[in-house]
């Protein structure tokens, strides 16, 4: 038997990587560093106060808003518009999306229409909605609903298309009725895709909320930002923008909660 001897060179490691994993605190640290740089920069004069307002000044605006009760006066109508508009748009979008996913005729008829409507900036239609639904809440709901509707439709029928056909054949092979197959197989199977579509739709809803409130709203985050902007009151402008950011983070968090509750069967 030949003598076995390990020769000197170690096999170089060349695997690993390409597997993002959660890293705690980094996200918060990025925020903290940016905010600290902002405050220090504006205090030392390195950033001129026409370029950016002071962070502590923006914080003071928040305190004033809260103390005067104006925060809720602006926030509550906005939340109501967002909830109502997004709910109408999402429910209609999921409904139409499921129909497109299930029926060839609906698909043939509506997919080109949705493709035609999708790229229209809905903000451009605001005057039209004002004529149709009045200057009050109606046109605001309509704008947000319409903007939420199209991405929800596209995400929903994509999700329905992606439901494992094997599961549907299984349902048929056991003699399940059409409604049972839709309710017990297609909809649960499409839910992950629908929820991730809602993440996008709700972010669009927030954008449109501001757009809607810039026209003919006395109270609301959008109205507040518009007023601050026209006065070049940067501190208040920033306060409004920060509220929008928080709103975005909150909706994303809520969807995350829904995903964890409804999709626990995934990993």
Partner 1 sequence: MELRIENVGHHYGGGPVLDRISLDVAAGEVLCLVGPSGCGKSTLLRLVGGLEKPAEGRVLTGGDVPEGCLNPISFVFQHFNLLPWRTVSGNVSLVLEGRLGRAARREAIADVLARTGLSDFASALPRQLSGGMRQRVAISRALATRPAVMLLDEPLSALDAQTRELLMEDLVGLWLREPFTAVYVTHNLAEAVRLGHRVAVLSRRPGRVREVVTISTPLGERSAATPEVAEAQAHLWHLIRDEAAAADRTLADA
159 binds partner 1 (CB under 8 A): no
Instruction: Pick the binder of partner 1 from 2, 12, 48, 175 (CB under 8 A).
Output: 175
Q: Which is nearer to partner 1, 87 or 195 (CB)?
A: 195
176 binds partner 1 (CB under 8 A): yes
Q: Among 5-13, 91-99, 165-173, 230-238, which window interacts with partner 1 (CB under 8 A)?
A: 165-173
Q: Which two tokens stand for residue 142?
A: 């309509």
Per the CB < 8 A criterion, the answer to whether 241 and 173 are in contact is no
Report the C-alpha gap between 221 and 219 in whole angstroms.
Answer: 7
Question: What is the radius of gyration, based on Cα positions, of the chain?
Answer: 25
For 28, how many CA atoms within 13 A lie in the half-sphere containing its CB?
A: 4
Q: Among 38-46, 113-121, 175-183, 215-223, which window interacts with partner 1 (CB under 8 A)?
A: 175-183
Encoded one letter per residue, x for contact with partner 1 by CB under 8 A and - for no contact, window 186-215 reads --x---------------------------
Report the C-alpha gap between 148 and 243 in whole angstroms.
Answer: 20
Q: Which is nearer to partner 1, 88 or 167 (CB)?
A: 167
Shortest CA distance to 209 belongs to which of 149, 253, 147, 255? 147
170 binds partner 1 (CB under 8 A): yes
Report the C-alpha gap between 70 and 240 in whole angstroms.
Answer: 12
Binding site for partner 1 (CB under 8 A): 164, 166-167, 169-177, 180, 184-185, 188, 263, 265-267
């Amino acid at each position: 038997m030949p003598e076995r001897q390990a020769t000197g060179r170690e096999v170089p490691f060349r695997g690993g990587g390409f597997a993002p994993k959660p890293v705690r605190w980094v996200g918060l640290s990025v925020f903290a560093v940016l905010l600290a740089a902002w405050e220090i920069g504006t205090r030392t004069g390195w950033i001129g106060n026409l370029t950016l307002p002071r962070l502590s000044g923006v914080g003071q605006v928040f305190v004033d808003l809260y103390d005067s009760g104006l925060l809720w006066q602006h926030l509550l109508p906005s939340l109501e518009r967002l909830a109502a508009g997004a709910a109408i748009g999402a429910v209609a979008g999921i409904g139409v999306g499921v129909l497109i996913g299930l029926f060839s005729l609906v698909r043939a008829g509506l997919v080109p229409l949705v493709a035609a409507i999708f790229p229209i900036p809905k903000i451009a239609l605001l005057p039209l909605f004002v004529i149709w639904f009045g200057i009050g809440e109606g046109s605001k709901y309509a704008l947000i609903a319409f903007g939420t509707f199209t991405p929800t439709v596209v995400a929903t029928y994509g999700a329905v298309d992606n439901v494992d056909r094997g599961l549907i054949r299984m349902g048929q092979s056991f003699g399940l009725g059409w409604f049972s197959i839709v309710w017990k197989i297609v909809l649960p199977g499409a839910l992950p895709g629908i929820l991730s579509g809602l993440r996008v739709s709700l972010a669009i809803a927030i954008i449109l909320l501001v757009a809607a409130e810039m026209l003919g709203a006395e109270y609301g985050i959008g109205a507040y930002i518009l007023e601050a902007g026209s006065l070049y009151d940067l501190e208040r402008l920033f306060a409004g923008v920060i509220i929008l950011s928080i709103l975005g983070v909150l909706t994303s968090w809520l969807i995350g909660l829904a995903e964890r509750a409804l999709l626990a069967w995934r990993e």
